[in-house]
Structure 1
Amino acid sequence: MRVCCHSISIVVFVSLCVIQSSSHVHAEPAKHFIAAFDRFGKHDEIDEALTRELLITELSCTACHQSDEEALVAKGGPNLEGAGTRLSAEWLHDYLINPQGVKPGTTMPDVLHGLSDAEKEKVAVALTAFLSTQQSPFPQLKATGLIPVTHEFWLKGSVEEGGKLYHSVGCVACHAPDSDFETAGSTSSALDRLIEQLDPEELKELGLSGAARTVNSIPHGDLNKKYTLLSLSHFLHNPDRDRPSGRMPNLKLLPSEAADIAAYLLRSQKKSAASIVPSQDAQLIAEGKKYFMELRCVNCHNIKGIESNPAKTPLANLNLKSEQSCFTNSTMKQPAYVLSEEQITKLVADSDKSESQATASHHDLRMLQLNCFACHERDTLGGVGRKRQQYFETVGHVDIGDEGRLPPSLTHVGKKLTPSWFARVLDGKGDIRPHMTIRMPIFSKALTRQLPKQIAIADEVNAASEKEVFGDLANLAQPGRQLLNTGCIQCHPLRGESLASVVGTDLNGVHNRVRPAWFKEFLRNPIDLKQRTRMPTFFPNGVSSNPDILAGDVDQQIAAIWAYLKENGKHPLPEKILEARSKSFELVPTDKPIVLRTFMGKAGMHAIAVGFPEKIHFAFDAETCQLVEAWKGRFLDAHGTWFDRFTPLAEPLGTNRIDFHNSLSYGNSKPGGGSTDVLQHFGKLIKKDFVGYQLDQAGIPTFRYKMGGYLIEERIVPAKSGELHRQFVIKSSAEETTVETSKVVFLFKLLTGKKIEKVDDKTFVNESGLTVKLPANSPLTPYVMHTPERPLENFCLSTIHSQPERIEFEVVYKW
């Protein structure tokens, strides 16, 4: 029997379903819904061992019945330490009495099934009282220059925007779309049109039954009764906090986006569900805690101070074919699972074999558990459901085919991706497809740590080194630039630059993303490694389309393309891009500096970018009055500032970007130099008021801002040697100063970092290579320290004790 999965880029996109259900008892009990089983397992599209392990882990059998098998880790349930702040008491009470009735498809069993109605009510009330005491405050989300967080953001969600997000970022890969939601309507593919014309027998004969099958949705029951806008917004923003199993991934939603989707999902909520008010009945709480342990709730749900209570019989010794089990005629002492006939059949199949004999590949199991196949296809298995593909689009609805709007295939992905890049993808940090509306979520490293290695083994990766694949790359970058100019850049950007209307993955950094052997094989014949790709071959029948470059030697030309992509930061962009750029809005400082007020990712909405002919540039945040970052090379493209204003944010075009996390503050007491309480004196930055900047004859700005009654003038200018000089003048005005000048102490946080090394008494460097140096006559006396509260953040600080009426000093940075 074929095993279902051998690859990954894991994209389980989960949000919350709009299907609502009432809390009454169903005449026909709902079954436990496990997405991968429903789509593949019950149709024999994955082998029996894999199907059985999927059921065992997703039903959390090993939470009670221990197993030595590493892969059989129980999914478990939500973290209940904060249940009292995020869940409605009414919903929780009803759910305990009738899990499937309140939340159809839940994998939680009925633990109160053997009790009379009166006894059920008694236990449910006690458990709810106990859980009401599990209070955990919601995290305080802090705003940055790029991510604003408004006061009570959860109350400011937009139903309309939430609906758009719900149907575009990936939620509907797993959950039901709203039938009333109108999409742009992607053109159906040739495969879709073929499926529509075939009957079931023909579909089976052609191996298209799975592709034609309706993909059922993961239900979520009555969200209106369960959540408040506050609790649902926080849950969507960071699901891991409440659901450590990782089945609901983090979709990298901004706080405002989480509020929008929460508003959409709770749009029919007539009365906001209230959080549980902690019970004051000590006896009832104690009874609830006792039930929580006796019923083995603690085996699946984490609560501090309560240890798990596993069953005596380990999984290997269970007789799953017994006439009395958790899913067949369960007793009062057993939880009651409501399994379908297909689930029971698959669960008991070969259950008399030892666990080691029945264990499937760990990566196959993990991918099914995380529902990766809801979005990704691998070896013809899975992929976005046919009726859901219309919700997967490109930004601006640019038509670049299914390859440009659907998540990539995972076939051969172990051969393709380097281990380091594969790990970044699984961490949600490998975004290279900004043209797609769907998002690659963040997954817990604990769940995905081993996947890159496991999948590389399964795919029989060729890990040959760059030298083994390409040989000597010396002097090949320039021919590679020529080859990109004749082909690759027609479809791909490079370093954020592209020809008009080009939409695709940026080739910058490709040598860090893919393995050399795969790259060579793919360029020789793309269709062999990626079916239905739009990528053409430039070497048909093994012959180069550019015989005048490197004498038409195919291997040498592919090596040259690799060489240029690896070294492209050291070489000019391909000629056609340079020609197109000359017609764009790139700002190039020549004779004097360029000063541009704009919106930037790091410097925020009040950024002032300054570019210099010396090709050293910086961004200053006029709101916080701080130098935020500096970079070298090219300056900025002003198109977004002058024409799009809000999108996209201006980003540096150069390289060697470095962050500055330093600031100037003051106080009216004198902390001991280097003492650990110094940040308590100055840790809360004094509010600064920006009063503008003045340009000197050379066009260099001097930024001016007030702090208390003090006026600070800061001039930042580069040197040809590559240094950045920051020159400060601090002036006081007796009638404006708000502190007693005789006691004033200024503090300058010169440098921050995880590691700061002292080069000499006036020179320090952090792990990023940013060096700070003070002139010999400087009034600053720097020292390095850290606080116990932030052990991973070190500070190079200096207090200034000169005449407070006027202080002048200079700080030099180099990187």
Structure 2
Amino acid sequence: MPFIVVQLMAAVCVSVTAGDGIVVPAYQRFRAEQLNSIDAGRLLISELNCQSCHGSFPGQLLAPRKAPVLTKIGERTNAEYLRKYIHDPQALKPGTAMPGVVSLKSDAAIADSIAAFLTQGTTWRPAGVSAGAVRRGEGLFHTVGCAACHGDQRDISVIQAIRKGISPPSDTETEEDEDQPGKPVSNAGFSNPSFTMPLGRLEEKYTVASLATFLQDPHAVRPSGRMPALNLNPKEALDITSYLLRHVKVKANIHFDYYEGEWEKLPDFGQLTPKDSGETTDFSVSVSPRDDTFGLRFTGYVQIPADGEYTFFVSSDDGAKLLIDDELVVNNDGLHPGGFKDGRKSLTAGAHAVVLDYFEFHGGEELEVEIKSRHLTRQPLAGMMTLERIPTAASKDEAKIATDELIGKGRRAFAALGCAACHQFGEGDQQIKWTGSAPQFSDMKSTGGCLAAEPVAGVPQFSLSPLQRDDISAAILATREPVAAQQSTDTGDDIRQIMLTMNCYACHARGSIGGVSESMTHVFVGSIPEMGDEGRIPPTLDGAGDKLNEAWLRTILKEGGKDRPYMKTRMPKFGDSAADALVPRFVKSDQQESVAPVEMPEAEHRIKAEARLLVGDKALSCIKCHTFGRYAATGIQSLDMTTMNRRLRRDWFHRYLLNPQKYRPGTRMPAAWPNGRTVVPQILQGDSAVQIEAIWQYLADGGAAKVPSGLLKEAIELVPVERPIIYRNFLEGLSPRGIAVGFPEKVHFAWDAEQMTPRLIWHGGFIDASKHWEGRGPGNQTPLGDHIMTLPSGPPMAVLVSLDEKWPDTPPRDNGFQFKGYTLNAEGAPSFRYQWSDLSVTDFLRPFVASPDNGLQRTLVVKSSGHPENLYLRIAVDQKIDVIDGTVEVHGMRLRIEGVEPIVRQMDDRQELLVPVKPDQTGEATIRYTIVW
């Protein structure tokens, strides 16, 4: 049955609110006006995972939303929370898709047994969070994308200020509030939309470590991808976790002593008398009654779970030291701003004494302490602290004996009551299977059972609204229509169904559906206000399959993306299933092929040089708005040009540049070719299609593309004026023994003293020496000019018994070549010299006048004490080498070799250009050829 946008339903439908049944974001948002009953029911069947009991459902394009994997759930979830949740899911998390079961509600002991079975052999202990991490986490939660699906969790005064565009007031949660973790944040007066997913009581469910682990890889336990991954790094995951668990109830577990004084380094607090003492839940400066000139000593015991090496992290402003068992592990002493230092220590399982000393002189104050190991996610150390050494716990065997009966009862209930139909517990042969059965969709009734308004014994009880029950019934009945009426043949309808299922419409519009809702627009933030909504609101997906190439579409759906650094909301990763379903349909629905191939008037290297000029500050000035790799734009910092060829399709690129407003109305992207005419007619004959194609080819080099003019603001350009310049430093594409030679004729080369041959030739600017002449001078420098051509590496000469013999691939030095330095002629041009066996070689290159740019003439003089046979010089390697009327054409270069017939030979998948070297009676041979490019 095709997706239908029902315009008349607004007159007959009631609105769907947060209290109306189970929350499925697209259902709550679009049911009233844009989803008919059948499509709505199909969406609910998928998102309630009805297929786990009733088999496949016709017309579904994605696998249903699987229930969380419960294997090892005891390592991440509180047993008491599980017990309450199993007993009555809606009471603990209203709107959840988790059904209740009559027997579980009537007999709490069954829920107790299932919880005991799932969490057997594990312990759960809440951990405190730091105020600094909570503040950072609040910002991340409300900007990177969490709030787009889960709603704004802040105080109403903060929300109202942000929505009005004024500075928000200070957080209404004071430090006293932080000591009352059960106190909720009031947001009375602001209601998150009904289509935001409820978070539930996370502080009762997770530990800091388990929630941080989940946020980094939600697909590990929720494999259907409905909860996407935001590619959070460990620190970001920990900060968001700290914010979400800010109300966790934790007993004091760390002792502190408070001191007053002015220090520039930590004193020995053991020799001082504290002004105050107490107990706290965190290594926090908040225990100090003043902001400056104070010190703190925290003491307690860290409970190490297993033998191993542990890494400890301390960030402080000002100084701090961490000691474990009286041994200094992290030293972050002195006056300085915040910043982590770390140290490692091998520890045995059990309690270890901790001392953390800290002082604050003046200015800002900060203190954070974290721990990590091979099997322990980076997390606050405070969560693993106790005030006293903990007595040895009962052995695992004793614990197992004490709960054997309860665990066994829980295992049987898990298999019999239908839990195992939806949830995976165990791997492979150990996975528990459902022991019950349910009718297939084709055989089941469209009412009663799971859809009954009143609880029915023996079946799951979903908290469906009356409208949701009716919609599911309508979808089931529709499957009994003729097959042609059930299945969509419209690719656009398929795309809508998938985007509804994956909640893509929370951020993206496509067609007349979705996009950021007015009530949530304030959580979409950009870092460049001048870009307006274009810099903070995710782009429309209209024509996405035309704009983005297929490989990149797959990449961003499977792995996420961050190509708009100015946009704080991230493109999350949804995984393989979403990519496999959406990408081919995007391509089929959107892709256009309307731009013909463009015949280019010049060689590729010249085309790219002209394109480099086009995008620079002397022509179209693309660099004013677009970054270029590591180089910032001169104005706003829009999309990186070096990524465009990797992301976009050539056909769309041509059409978009000709008319940006057609593809993104309101964009700040200017039209550089208004009405198809260029604004820079002096470049590439003023041909718009050629200019756009040139830019496309230039950007195909990605990060290796030459930097456009106008970006190298601190360049130290070496300009040969009357004599050549010799520049010896690290050059891109050469060994560390590269030697660049620049000529006033604006034609240059770089000779490699490791390879004994010229490796680069180019035109225009010579070298920007700023990389090596400023600071520590790290990295390799690329030539400053254009038309950079690469010549073959490897031994320049070889003796070949036959022309079928491969050219040596061993380094020249290993082959016996020895560099003998260079000499300068009267004009200052170098002649490079090297020795090989009984051969003495001089290699000299000089400019000569050519068109359209000057060329190079290379002269090699080979002297031998003997008369070597079968000696060859290799001067070119490429996929194809042509010899036409005595001129060799290879990779955009034209070579003319004097007095000898060159040899072109095929070796595997490439061709080589060889010149025979035949010394005369005096033992001397001269090879001379010119290069024009």
Q: TM-score range by the shorter chain?
A: 0.5 to 0.7
Question: Is the Cα contact below 8 Å between 1:82 and 1:137 reproduced in 2?
Answer: no
Residues 29 and 574 of structure 1: is their aligned pair in 2 closer, same or farther, counting only changes over 3 Å? closer
Which residue of 2 is the match for residue 51 of structure 1? Answer: 40
Report 1:309-708 matches (<5 A).
309=435, 311-320=437-446, 322-354=447-479, 356=483, 357-360=485-488, 361-395=493-527, 397-428=528-559, 430-459=561-590, 461-462=591-592, 468-472=596-600, 474-475=602-603, 476-485=607-616, 486-487=619-620, 488-567=622-701, 572-578=706-712, 580-582=713-715, 614=738
Question: Is the Cα contact below 8 Å between 2:20 and 2:465 reproduced in 1?
Answer: no
The alignment's C-alpha RMSD in Å is 4.3
Residues 499 and 230 of structure 1: is their aligned pair in 2 closer, same or farther, counting only changes over 3 Å? closer
* SS of residue in 1 equivalent to 2:700: helix
- Over alpha carbons, which structure has the higher Rg? 2
Residues 654 and 425 of structure 1: is their aligned pair in 2 closer, same or farther, counting only changes over 3 Å? farther
Residues 583 and 223 of structure 1: is their aligned pair in 2 closer, same or farther, counting only changes over 3 Å? farther
Question: Is the Cα contact below 8 Å between 1:31 and 1:105 reproduced in 2?
Answer: yes
Question: Is the Cα contact below 8 Å between 2:645 and 2:702 reproduced in 1?
Answer: no
Match of 1:98 among 70, 80, 88: 88
Residues 335 and 568 of structure 1: is their aligned pair in 2 closer, same or farther, counting only changes over 3 Å? closer
Question: Is the Cα contact below 8 Å between 1:414 and 1:456 reproduced in 2?
Answer: yes
Residues 495 and 473 of structure 1: is their aligned pair in 2 closer, same or farther, counting only changes over 3 Å? farther
2:241 alignment partner AA: A
Question: Is the Cα contact below 8 Å between 1:56 and 1:72 reproduced in 2?
Answer: no
Which residue of 2 is the match for residue 261 of structure 1? Answer: 240
Measure how far apart 1:559 and its partner are: 1.8
Residues 423 and 264 of structure 1: is their aligned pair in 2 closer, same or farther, counting only changes over 3 Å? same
Which residue of 1 is the match for residue 115 of structure 2? Answer: 128
What does the per-residue CA deviation read over 1:235-282, in whole Å, with 9 as the maximum and x for residues that have no partner? 222212222222222112222221211111111212379999976422
* SS of residue in 2 equivalent to 1:317: coil
More strand by percentage:
2
Question: Is the Cα contact below 8 Å between 1:249 and 1:442 reproduced in 2?
Answer: yes
Distance 2:250 2:560 in 1: 39
Report 1:734-813 matches (<5 A).
none
* SS of residue in 1 equivalent to 2:711: helix
- Is structure 2 residue 142 aligned with structure 1 residue 167? yes
Question: Is the Cα contact below 8 Å between 1:378 and 1:409 reproduced in 2?
Answer: yes
Which residue of 1 is the match for residue 890 of structure 2? Answer: none
Residues 570 and 127 of structure 1: is their aligned pair in 2 closer, same or farther, counting only changes over 3 Å? closer
Measure how far apart 1:134 and its partner are: 7.4
Measure how far apart 1:73 and its partner are: 2.9
Distance 1:429 1:636 in 2: 36
What does the per-residue CA deviation read over 1:604-652, in whole Å, with 9 as the maximum and x for residues that have no partner? xxxxxx9957399xxxxxxxxxxxxxxx99999799999xxxxxxx998
Measure how far apart 1:93 and its partner are: 0.9
Which residue of 1 is the match for residue 77 of structure 2? Answer: 87
* SS of residue in 2 equivalent to 1:449: helix
Residues 215 and 563 of structure 1: is their aligned pair in 2 closer, same or farther, counting only changes over 3 Å? farther
2:476 alignment partner AA: S
Measure how far apart 1:167 and its partner are: 1.4
1:166 alignment partner AA: F
Distance 1:82 1:157 in 2: 31
Distance 2:739 2:508 in 1: 43
Question: Is the Cα contact below 8 Å between 1:82 and 1:136 reproduced in 2?
Answer: no
Please identify, of 170-179 and 567-576, the stretch whose mean Cα deviation from structure 2 is larger. Answer: 567-576
Query: What is the aligned residue count?
Result: 553
Match of 1:229 among 208, 221, 224: 208
- For normalisation by structure 1, the TM-score amounts to 0.60
Question: Is the Cα contact below 8 Å between 1:469 and 1:517 reproduced in 2?
Answer: no
Which residue of 2 is the match for residue 300 of structure 1? Answer: 422
* SS of residue in 2 equivalent to 1:345: helix
Residues 490 and 59 of structure 1: is their aligned pair in 2 closer, same or farther, counting only changes over 3 Å? same
Measure how far apart 1:501 and its partner are: 3.0
Distance 2:19 2:502 in 1: 26
Distance 1:186 1:526 in 2: 30
Distance 2:121 2:497 in 1: 33
Measure how far apart 1:373 and its partner are: 1.4
Question: Is the Cα contact below 8 Å between 1:31 and 1:100 reproduced in 2?
Answer: no
Residues 438 and 611 of structure 1: is their aligned pair in 2 closer, same or farther, counting only changes over 3 Å? farther
Distance 1:590 1:340 in 2: 81
Question: Is the Cα contact below 8 Å between 1:50 and 1:359 reproduced in 2?
Answer: no
1:51 alignment partner AA: A
2:210 alignment partner AA: S
* SS of residue in 1 equivalent to 2:100: coil
Residues 96 and 512 of structure 1: is their aligned pair in 2 closer, same or farther, counting only changes over 3 Å? same
Measure how far apart 1:297 and its partner are: 0.6
What does the per-residue CA deviation read over 1:170-220, in whole Å, with 9 as the maximum and x for residues that have no partner? 1111112233384894887xxxxxxxxxxxxxxxxxxxxxxx995642112
Residues 233 and 569 of structure 1: is their aligned pair in 2 closer, same or farther, counting only changes over 3 Å? closer
Q: Which has the higher contact order (CA 8 A, sep 6+)?
A: 1
Question: Is the Cα contact below 8 Å between 1:490 and 1:502 reproduced in 2?
Answer: yes
Question: Is the Cα contact below 8 Å between 2:203 and 2:247 reproduced in 1?
Answer: yes
Measure how far apart 1:720 and its partner are: 13
What does the per-residue CA deviation read over 1:56-99, in whole Å, with 9 as the maximum and x for residues that have no partner? 11011111000164536331211111111211121111111111
Which residue of 1 is the match for residue 855 of structure 2? Answer: none
1:92 alignment partner AA: L
What does the per-residue CA deviation read over 1:441-463, in whole Å, with 9 as the maximum and x for residues that have no partner? 2222234233211211122x125
Question: Is the Cα contact below 8 Å between 1:156 and 1:259 reproduced in 2?
Answer: no
Report 1:147-296 matches (<5 A).
158-180=133-155, 182=158, 185=162, 214=193, 216-271=195-250, 280-296=402-418
Question: Is the Cα contact below 8 Å between 1:38 and 1:216 reproduced in 2?
Answer: yes
2:598 alignment partner AA: F
2:445 alignment partner AA: N
